[in-house]
Amino acid sequence: MSKLKTAFFCQQCGHESTKWLGRCPSCGSWNTFVEEVQEKKGTAVRDNWKPASSGNQKFVSLQEISAQEEDRWITPDAELNRVLGGGIVPGSLVLVAGEPGIGKSTLFLQDALQLPAVRTLYVSGEESEQQIKMRADRIGLQHENFYLLTETDTQTIFQEIKKLRPQLVVIDSIQTLRTPFVESAPGSVSQIRECTAELQRFAKATRTPVFLIGHITKEGSIAGPKILEHMVDTVLQFEGDQHYIYRMLRTVKNRFGSTAELGIYEMKENGLRPVANPSELLISEKEEPLSGIAIAATLEGLRPMLIETQALVTPSVYGTPQRTVNGFDLRRLQLLLAVLEKRGGFQFGLKDVFLNIAGGLRVEDPAIDLAIITTLLSSYEDVPVPHNYCFAGEVGLSGEIRAVNRIGQRIAEAGKLGFEKIFVSRFSRKALDPAKFNIEVVMVARVEELYRQLF
């Protein structure tokens, strides 16, 4: 008998080597190489979901292909439609990853149950049929076109697919599947790569959308080789703090739409509820004005949102001042504090600074800088900012307030929510007409000017 072909794979990044290495030359991880059998010889037939009469593909000229808009399935979940770029594309392969217990299985179980006209096959390698039935009863949705399969062998799954002919397939999860053509444990680099390749061939050949639910590592990256993210059409990240009721579905990669979209859900007892207007939920109700609070007009993809920023500035008791942030970049906070010290003369070097983005969100929009500056000064002076003021602007190193993109959309959202005044950069006046908004637009050029107007 011929000797089986083996290789060593890094379990962190998927780098392949002919011999064992102590340190991965690709990602730098130590002791992550594992020997795996690359391919198992056998009599099984690949792609047994294909009909017997399927012919071979042939090359085609680019001019012979008719250009037409890709048809999409519009689901009842508006947030899922948003992050996918307008709906589910037939034949697409979508990977969804997130923390354990964040609600990945619940989200796609309820989305599949909301499509009674679509014949769906839900493949679970982690839960029994009774567990999925209990979750469906808790959600309160069911229909006759929804089918369950608890199996981890890909060839068995394809045999059932050939009999059922589903229009939508959900795999929970890709790390539990195994193919008989690779002799290694489920979840290994070789197994994940080969199982994904089989599902990719099935999705493209039959134009059946396939959703893959994936695990993440303790570092927060998607478990498995990096090539997994390259093989799929769309990568979605499902995130959120388990101590908050909000969950965010972010687009990391999308071949059919923008990668800057964000879907927001609210965790309820009966499942996840899409949040149509997150601004009203992310701004807390206060009976009296408090210092250290300012509202920022930010954008997540094409969606404008108003979020609450909170800061606490106190004298430093210990020798080294503390800098603690939640939902914001710590290095960006240090930069803004340096600007306030250099350009405004405020002694933040002797203060402890604590910063929080309300609602458990993490924001990377540079337009939030102006609100962060305002909330720091408010807590420093212990003077509250009026609750009907909001801010949108980027702060430069010389203390200037720079213009941000789509400022008109931010102003319109603030006016819709009842704010009376919004502070923006003076350099934005070429891109907007303040007279057409039902909110007063205040233009400032420098941090010192902002301080004089507010405090």
393 is known to lie in a ligand binding site: no
Stretch 92-96: mean pLDDT: 95
CA geometry: angle 6, 11, 12, nearest 5 deg: 145
318: enclosing H helix or E strand = none
Question: pLDDT at residue 42 above 70?
Answer: no
Q: How many helices (H) and strands (E) does the chain have?
A: 11, 21
Architecture of domain 281-454: 2-Layer Sandwich (3.30)
- Where are any strands of DSSP class E within 153-282? 168-172, 210-214, 234-239, 246-254, 262-268, 271-274
Instruction: Give the separation between CA 387 and CA 165, rounded to whole angstroms.
Output: 56
| pLDDT at position 141 | 85
Question: pLDDT at residue 407 above 60?
Answer: yes
Query: Do the beta carbons of residue 143 and residue 110 sit within 8 Å?
Result: no
257 is known to lie in a ligand binding site: no
- 12-26, 106-120, 305-319: segment of lowest average pLDDT: 12-26
| pLDDT at position 64 | 79
State the pTM of this model. Answer: 0.76
| pLDDT at position 3 | 58
128 is known to lie in a ligand binding site: no
Domain 74-276 has CATH 3.40.50.2000: no
Percent of the chain's residues with pLDDT above 70: 91
Who contacts 385 (Cβ-Cβ below 8 Å, separation ≥6)?
Answer: 289, 291, 293, 294, 374, 375, 378, 454
- What residues does CATH 3.30.230.10 cover in the chain? 281-454
Question: pLDDT at residue 262 above 80?
Answer: yes
359 is known to lie in a ligand binding site: no
286 is known to lie in a ligand binding site: no
Question: pLDDT at residue 258 above 80?
Answer: yes
- 3-17, 351-365, 431-445: segment of lowest average pLDDT: 3-17
| pLDDT at position 421 | 93
- What residues does CATH 3.40.50.300 cover in the chain? 74-276
Stretch 64-73: mean pLDDT: 76
Stretch 8-26: mean pLDDT: 85
User: Across the chain, what does the average pLDDT equal?
Assistant: 87
| pLDDT at position 176 | 92
Nearest to 361 by CA among 279, 274, 251: 279
Where residue 370 falls among pLDDT bands split at 50, 70, 90? very high
What is the tens place of the pLDDT at every residue in 327-342? 899 999 999 999 999 9
The tokens for 258 are 């923008």
| pLDDT at position 43 | 43
Residue at token pair 């969804």: 96
| pLDDT at position 84 | 92
Where residue 243 falls among pLDDT bands split at 50, 70, 90? low
Pinpoint the alpha helices (H) of 320-439: 330-344, 369-381, 407-416
Query: Do the beta carbons of residue 179 and residue 154 sit within 8 Å?
Result: yes
98 is known to lie in a ligand binding site: yes
26 is known to lie in a ligand binding site: no
| pLDDT at position 60 | 83
